[in-house]
Amino acid sequence: MSYVQPGEFDRDTNYIEDRITRDARDGWPVEAGRYRLVAARACPWANRTVIVRRLLGLEGAISLGLPGPTHDERSWTFDLDPGGVDPVLGISRLQEAYFARFRDYPRGITVPAVVDVPTGRVVTNDYPQITLDFSTEWGAFHRAGAPDLYPDALRAEIDEVNDGVFRDVNNGVYRAGFAGSQEAYERAYERLFSRLDSLSTRLSSQRYLVGDTITEADVRLFTTLARFDAVYHGHFKCNRSKLSEMPVLWAYARDLFQTPGFGDTIDFGQIKDHYYKVHRDINPTGVVPLGPDPRGWLTPHHREELGGRPFGDGTPPPPPPADERVPPLAAA
């Protein structure tokens, strides 16, 4: 049991652990068209599921619901949809899908969430497992040429990398941003940048985190790096260095951003709106910064010189469906 020191941000990691599997062990069988993934573009945890769904070509099997970038204390809302109602689930708040299954659900109404369309009930919000199951349980619905994001031979190494990245980077930026004491903030800050330095060393001689292709590990690190300069550097006080001042990680992140399935899921406007408007405890005015200029993400990265094959023996995904496209990058 881990001990949380005074002032430390303590993330609630008790999620709905039901899984959608081929053998329906939890009562939820893999079935095309049955489930809807609800995943706000602003959220890094939800962004992972959108990327993996894109890379594997599951758009035709699992539909996508997109809440807007802001929410209140009750839940995420579908304010981007006509009438503020999700066109498939027929609800205005994600909370309704949670309450349809668990009356007075006591925990946070989080994204990503997978909802059973016929019943309108949430199935799971266990985001680390959702993407792994997309890779391992939904194979019958993968596109031709889909990459293997969680190969058997590399799973132990991927899991080990993911564990450190989660503790010190994915969750580390939140531990810094929501620290309740100077000491807790400094501990989080030091752990974050120590891990980023070690990742920079690792990535200085190899194109991807594990093996010579994109894996689940790259997806998990990317969604934090994509938000680093726009949000975490200033809003969360992770300001030793900008991502754009860390040459290896900046090139690595641009390489992924320019890979189909990654950058075409990123909406910097929604990302900034979420963090700066929702977190009024650390940004009371709700003022959203104009910068940084996102066009730097499209500059050459030269990571191909390290070799590697992004999709292994597979192929890039096709462009996203018209109703899932993000705005093109423009100057801030």
The CATH number linked to 80 is: 3.40.30.10
Choose, from 43, 98, 189, 276, the residue flagged as catalytic: 43
Which residues, given as ranges, of the chain have pLDDT below 50? Answer: 1-3
My answer on whether 179 and 233 are in the same domain is: yes
Sheet holding 113-116, edge to edge: 63-65, 35-38, 113-116, 121-124
Look at residues 95, 114, 141 and tell me which one is the last residue of a structural domain.
141
pTM above 0.95, yes or no: yes
Q: Is 13 exposed, middle or buried (CB count within 10 Å of its CB: 0-12, 13-18, 19+)?
A: exposed
Look at residues 80, 107, 141 and tell me which one is the last residue of a structural domain.
141
Q: Is 76 annotated as a binding residue?
A: yes
My answer on whether 125 and 231 are in the same domain is: no
User: Measuring CA to CA, how many Å separate 264 from each of 8, 57, 214, 258, 321?
Assistant: 34, 14, 16, 8, 11
Contact 37, 89 (CB under 8 A): no
Q: Flag whether 28 is in a domain.
A: no
- Half-sphere exposure for 298 (CA within 13 Å, toward CB): 9
Measure the CA–CA gap between 80 and 86, rounded to whole angstroms.
9
My answer on whether 116 and 228 are in the same domain is: no
Question: What is the count of structural domains for the chain?
Answer: 2
My answer on whether 302 and 182 are in the same domain is: yes
Q: Residue with structure tokens 């690190």?
A: 221
Domain with residue 242: its CATH number is 1.20.1050.10
Measure the CA–CA gap between 169 and 89, rounded to whole angstroms.
34
Predicted local distance difference test score (pLDDT) of residue 7: 81
Local structure of 99: helix, strand or coil:
helix
Is position 174 annotated as part of the catalytic site? yes
Predicted local distance difference test score (pLDDT) of residue 1: 36
Predicted local distance difference test score (pLDDT) of residue 3: 47
Predicted local distance difference test score (pLDDT) of residue 332: 65
Helix (H) or strand (E) run with residue 231 in it: none
My answer on whether 69 and 91 are in the same domain is: yes
Task: State how far Cα 214 lies from the chain centre.
Answer: 15
DSSP 21: B
Is position 238 annotated as part of the catalytic site? no
Look at residues 81, 115, 141 and tell me which one is the last residue of a structural domain.
141
End-to-end CA distance of the chain: 45
My answer on whether 189 and 301 are in the same domain is: yes
Q: Flag whether 329 is in a domain.
A: no
Question: In sequence order, which ranges of the chain are alpha helices (DSSP H)?
Answer: 44-56, 95-101, 127-136, 155-165, 172-177, 182-203, 216-225, 247-257, 268-278
My answer on whether 191 and 137 are in the same domain is: no
Residue span of the structural domain in which 122 resides: 35-141
Predicted local distance difference test score (pLDDT) of residue 262: 98
My answer on whether 305 and 236 are in the same domain is: yes
My answer on whether 51 and 122 are in the same domain is: yes
My answer on whether 307 and 235 are in the same domain is: yes
